[in-house]
Amino acid sequence: MEEVDKILIHALRQSGTDVAEDIQSVKQFTSELIVEAVVRCVRVINPALGGGLSPSLPPGMSARFRVGMGLAQACQDLGYKGEIGYQTFLYSNEPEIRSLLMFLVEKLPRESAEASDQPAGKSVVLQRAIAAKIKAQLALPWLPPNCRLPLLCKTQSAGPSLSFRAQPLSLPYSTKSTGKAASKELRAYQREVLLPVTAQPSHQGAVVASLLEQHASELSAAQEWDSEWNSQGLLSRLTPEEYRSRKMTRLHKRIEEQLRSATSEPSPESSSGVPGSSSDLAQLLLSFQGSAPGDHLLPKGTHFTHTQKFTFTQDPGVLVEQMAAVASSMPLGGQSEGEVQASQQAELASLEEQLQQVALRIDRLTDHMKQMNLTVAQVTNELKDRELGNQEKEDTMQVKKQTVDLLPDAENNLAKLQMLVEASAKRVVSLAAQWEKHRAPLIDEHRRLKELCTNQDMESSRQLSEIKDLHEKIRESAEKAKKKETFYKQLISELENLPKDVSRSAYTLRILEIVGNIKKQKEEITKILSDTKELQKEINNLTGKLDRTFAVTDELVFKDAKKDESVRKSYKYLAALHENCNQLIQTIEDTGTILREIRDLEEQIETESGNKTVANLERILEDNKAIRAENLALASKVREG
Amino acid sequence: MMSLRKLPSTECQSLCHKVVDELCGREPPRIVDYGDTWSLGEWVGLTDCLSSLFRKTVGENCSDEEVLAGLRDVGPGYGETVLSVLEARREEIRQVLLKRTHLMSSTTLQDFDWQLKLALSSDKISSLQTPLLNLGLYVRENGALRSVAIEMGREELNTLISSLEAANKVVLQLK
């Protein structure tokens, strides 16, 4: 009971009741304390219900009675099943109060307890930490920069608001550079000229940002390559280099197609103009760069810019020549400015005209050149065809010439020819036989190799799938490990945050002790039970034996009793003995039940005496007297009023 | 280009490296260090000339002889110096040029920064606990840097991310 009382008092203190230090058990609770505790509990459980109750007992008896009635009603509203009335509070008895308080404490809302019991989410922990930190920082006064302690500098200076701006870095061990061995010049540059990475960005704040950015970009590139290689590269069964080159050619093709399709549309319109589709392409590229400023245009030598240069380089050359001509023909001064200006204007006009003419001529010439080029190509083709025809004709002429040479000695030559034909036929047959001989093993070999190849194919695909599975597994287990790690960390942080409540461990210890005690008691009870059973059995045995012995003896003695007088007497004694013994047993059993009843009664007396009945009765009498006095006073007041 | 002759060829190497650094987006060479040697006009012309030389050589994959021929007038030793710098930085310059070629739009993203903020409370609600994302985009628009700042709640961020993912899908399909 002491433990229960301690827990109850602890809970009541938490709910706001002012329980004095020296009160250790419910037995010591006064009526005032009980009323206060109950009211506080009710207020915590149901604020609306407890709002109308005052936590202190008024001095007037009838008011006290009313408070008691109200409290009892409130407790019943909360769902208390036991007997309760004003007497529970005013004339307390220990067990009732204990059960009531236990009921109320169990009803107390547990949200605070639950919040700390359940594993709080990560976000909750974080938010709490943030709130605590901000509260601490807000509590600090703001100080001008010169007065700050180093601790404050961290939170109050503008340092954390630095923006994150990355700048490109040059690193010798970068994955961006290809795996080729570094050239001599490169190594010399890295050794002598290249600054350390911390000195490369223009201002100090960008070092970390640049490093992080560099690392992130390299990491993401590596990861992308990894995933692509695992998903597609492995399936293609190529080495990484082959895969890369294949992908590059594919992309090149695609880009070319795109460009071609983009340029094919406008080309019909401009086919009449001077610039061909190639310069269109150049324009397209220029439009890609859009309105980018001049200094961002690349002098990069694509095919298109080359052609652009070819088509347009004549103009400046011509222009320069003309300019020179104009300069030489310029009069060397001596004329008035107006004249000079007029002449310059005229010059300008004529020059522009010339320029236009030249441009027109160039246009025409280019057209002409194109046509010429076309005709040249046609003519070359024709020439090739003719040459081929010539070759054929020459061949046939050779054959015919030989036949004509052979004609004079026709028969001989015919025989010779036949012989030759036969010999070659024979040779062909023998060659075929030889070929057959060679072919068979070769075909066998080929088949064997094919089979081997398919086997290897299957094997490799099997291994591939295995590798894939393994990759998947590796990823999964890594994820799992990560999850568990974070969970573990979270739990550890929670453990650290938990209040180091001593009573908790004490409670657990105590609970364990109690459980041990209960176990022991149970064992003892079972032992006693088994003892009782054994005794019962023995008693039954003995009674049976007794009955049988008595029956046998009775029979024997009864037989002889007809003949002999003394035996008859002994039979009478035997019967009396049996009767008396039965009575004795009966008496013993009765004594046992009476003893048990006595014990019950004693217990009842104890509980009744625990209820402080006498004291309560006295108090009731006194209160009765007080009420009567109050009534009298009120009545006299009424009469006076 | 001829004004390069005013500088001894040993210092010429470090100058060339600095020009390449500028090309790669790092700190440019400062006229303060070379103020005694050149006037401002010469300086601007020289750096422009060097930078375009590097770009052209790497971009058009010129041979060493072409470079040497171009620098023959300057003086002995200079051509070799420039060539060694070129040899050392060729890969870097190539990467930069490739990167610039990728930027085929009038507006390109140069850099970005983000900050995650947690609004703990507002003037009306005591406990808000709403995460907000401050996204800063540094955009180069027609050559001028411009910063765009956006603040987003959770849903807005989700829509942004989903639209970016859709864009990424289109890019992946192009591959």
Which residues in chain A touch residue B87, judged by CB atoms under 8 angstroms apart?
183, 185-186
Q: Using H for helix, E for strand and C for coil, what is the string for A25-84?
A: CHHHCCHHHHHHHHHHHHHHHCHHHHCCCCCCCCCCHHHHHHHHHHHHHHHHHHCCCCCC
Q: Which of B48, B51, B87 to mutate to test the interface with A (most CBs of A within 10 A)?
A: B87
Alpha-carbon distance A30 to A520, whole Å? 37
Specify whether B81 is located in the same domain as B125.
Answer: no
B92: closest CA of chain A, how far (Å) = 8
Report the amino acid identity of residue A240. P
Instruction: State both tokens at B129.
Output: 């606990």
Report the amino acid identity of residue A626. A
Alpha-carbon distance B67 to A490, whole Å? 64
Which of A163, A293, A300 is the closest to B60 by Cβ? A300
* B111:A166 CB<8 A: yes
- Residue B169 inside a domain? The answer is no
Alpha-carbon distance A83 to A106, whole Å? 18
A167 touches chain B (CB under 8 A): yes
Q: Which of B44, B113, B172 to mutate to test the interface with A (most CBs of A within 10 A)?
A: B113
Q: Using alpha carbons, select from B41, B42, B30, B55 the residue that is nearest to residue B6.
A: B42
Alpha-carbon distance A287 to A266, whole Å? 14
Burial of A351 (0-12, 13-18, 19+ CB in 10 A): middle
Interval B22-33: pLDDT, tens: 888 787 888 887
- Note whether B51 and B6 are within 8 A (CB): no
- Residue B159 inside a domain? The answer is no
Interval A351-406: pLDDT, tens: 999 999 999 999 999 999 999 999 999 999 999 999 999 999 999 999 999 888 87
Query: What end-to-end distance do the CA atoms of chain B give, in Å?
Result: 43
A290 touches chain B (CB under 8 A): yes
Which residues in chain A touch residue B54, judged by CB atoms under 8 angstroms apart?
none
- Residue B22 inside a domain? The answer is yes
A305 pLDDT exceeds 50? no
Write A599-606 long-range contacts (CB < 8 A, 24+): none
Specify whether B95 is located in the same domain as B9.
Answer: yes
A208 touches chain B (CB under 8 A): no
Specify whether B98 is located in the same domain as B115.
Answer: no
Specify whether B117 is located in the same domain as B77.
Answer: no
Most confident option among A98-102, A126-130, A323-327: A98-102
Which of B59, B84, B143 is the closest to A299 by Cβ? B59
Residue A480 CB contacts under 8 Å (≥ 6 apart), including other chains:
none
- Residue B108 inside a domain? The answer is yes
Q: How confident is the model at residue A548 (pLDDT cuts 50, 70, 90)?
A: very high
Alpha-carbon distance A26 to A163, whole Å? 65
Taking the domains of chain A in order of start, what are their residue ranges? 2-112, 313-326+339-407, 414-498, 503-610
Summary mean pLDDT of chain A: 80
Which residues in chain A touch residue B138, judged by CB atoms under 8 angstroms apart?
165
In this structure, is the dihedral angle defined by the CA atoms of residues A212, A218, A222 and A227, taken in order, positive or negative?
A: positive
* A290:B88 CB<8 A: no
B17 touches chain A (CB under 8 A): yes
A201 touches chain B (CB under 8 A): yes
- Note whether A275 and A263 are within 8 A (CB): no
Specify whether B20 is located in the same domain as B86.
Answer: yes
* A165:B138 CB<8 A: yes
Interval A165-198: pLDDT, tens: 777 787 776 554 454 556 777 777 777 777 788 8
Count Cα atoms within 13 angstroms, Cβ side, for B169: 6
Could you give the number of structural domains in chain B? 2
Burial of A256 (0-12, 13-18, 19+ CB in 10 A): exposed
Give the number of other Cβ atoms within 10 Å of residue A567's Cβ.
16
Dihedral of CA atoms A107, A109, A115, A118 in degrees, nearest 10, equals 20
- Note whether A623 and A61 are within 8 A (CB): yes
A196 touches chain B (CB under 8 A): no
Order of strands across the sheet that contains B130-141:
B107-119, B130-141, B144-152
Which of A134, A185, A190 is the closest to B87 by Cβ? A185
Residue by residue, DSSP assigns A183-250 as: PHHHHHHHHHTPPPGGGSSSSTTHHHHHHHHHHHHHHHHHHHHHHHIIIIIHHHT--HHHHHHHHHHH
Q: Using alpha carbons, select from A172, A192, A170 the residue that is nearest to residue A181.
A: A172
Write the Ramachandran bin of A203: left for phi over 0, alpha for psi from -120 to 50, otherwise beta: beta
Specify whether B67 is located in the same domain as B95.
Answer: yes
A490: closest CA of chain B, how far (Å) = 20
- Note whether A627 and A61 are within 8 A (CB): yes
Give the number of other Cβ atoms within 10 Å of residue A385's Cβ.
10
Alpha-carbon distance A306 to A308, whole Å? 5
Specify whether B17 is located in the same domain as B83.
Answer: yes
Specify whether B80 is located in the same domain as B32.
Answer: yes
Alpha-carbon distance A35 to A74, whole Å? 12
Give the number of other Cβ atoms within 10 Å of residue A278's Cβ.
16
* A301:B92 CB<8 A: no
Q: Looking up tokens 């590139």, which residue turns up? A: A221
Which of A134, A190, A290 is the closest to B106 by Cβ? A290
Specify whether B21 is located in the same domain as B56.
Answer: yes
Alpha-carbon distance A258 to A254, whole Å? 6
Residue by residue, DSSP assigns B93-123 as: HHHHHHHHHH--SSEEEEEEEEEEEEE---S
- Residue B171 inside a domain? The answer is no
A275: closest CA of chain B, how far (Å) = 23
- Residue B84 inside a domain? The answer is yes
* B27:A185 CB<8 A: no
B87 touches chain A (CB under 8 A): yes
CA distances A221 to A114, A337, A361, B166, Å, are 47, 69, 55, 20
**pLDDT one digit per residue (tens) for chain B, 175 residues:** 667 777 776 778 888 888 888 888 787 888 887 777 788 888 888 888 888 888 888 888 777 777 777 777 777 777 778 888 888 888 888 888 888 887 777 888 888 888 888 887 788 887 777 889 999 888 888 878 888 999 999 999 999 999 999 999 998 887 7
The CATH class of the A2-112 domain is mainly alpha
Alpha-carbon distance B133 to B118, whole Å? 9
* B143:A167 CB<8 A: no
Which of A163, A292, A300 is the closest to B143 by Cβ? A292
Alpha-carbon distance B135 to B116, whole Å? 9
* B120:A183 CB<8 A: no
Burial of B71 (0-12, 13-18, 19+ CB in 10 A): buried
- Residue B77 inside a domain? The answer is yes
Q: What percent of chain A has pLDDT over 70?
A: 81
Burial of A402 (0-12, 13-18, 19+ CB in 10 A): exposed
Longest Cα–Cα distance of chain A, Å, equals 198
* A254:B174 CB<8 A: yes
Alpha-carbon distance A638 to A630, whole Å? 12
Interval A67-81: pLDDT, tens: 888 888 888 888 888
CA distances A173 to A394, A597, A634, Å, are 69, 98, 104
* B143:A296 CB<8 A: yes
- Residue B67 inside a domain? The answer is yes
Instruction: State both tokens at A6.
Output: 């301690």
Interval A3-22: pLDDT, tens: 788 888 888 887 777 777 78
pLDDT at position A393, please?
Answer: 95
Specify whether B19 is located in the same domain as B97.
Answer: yes
A254 touches chain B (CB under 8 A): yes
CA distances B160 to A311, B149, B156, Å, are 47, 14, 6
B108: nearest CA partner in chain A: A292
- Note whether A31 and A57 are within 8 A (CB): yes
A179 touches chain B (CB under 8 A): no
Count Cα atoms within 13 angstroms, Cβ side, for A241: 2
SS3 content of chain A, % helix, strand, coil (to 5): 80, 0, 20
* B111:A296 CB<8 A: no
Eight-state DSSP code of residue B137: E
Which residues in chain B touch residue A130, judged by CB atoms under 8 angstroms apart?
118, 120
Specify whether B84 is located in the same domain as B114.
Answer: no
Eight-state DSSP code of residue A279: H
- Note whether A240 and A229 are within 8 A (CB): yes
Interval A194-237: pLDDT, tens: 778 888 877 777 888 888 888 888 899 888 888 888 777 777 77
* A130:B92 CB<8 A: no
Q: In this predicted structure, which of A50-64, A360-374, A567-581, B85-99 has the lowest mean pLDDT?
A: A50-64
Q: Using H for helix, E for strand and C for coil, what is the string for A360-421?
A: HHHHHHHHHHHHHHHHHHHHHHHHHHHHHHHHHHHHHHHHHHHHHHHCCCHHHHHHHHHHHH
**Domain final residue pick, B38, B72, B102:** B102
Alpha-carbon distance A273 to A267, whole Å? 10
* B56:A299 CB<8 A: yes
Specify whether B47 is located in the same domain as B131.
Answer: no
Query: What end-to-end distance do the CA atoms of chain A give, in Å?
Result: 55
Which residues in chain B touch residue A200, judged by CB atoms under 8 angstroms apart?
26-27
Domain span at residue B128?
Answer: 104-154
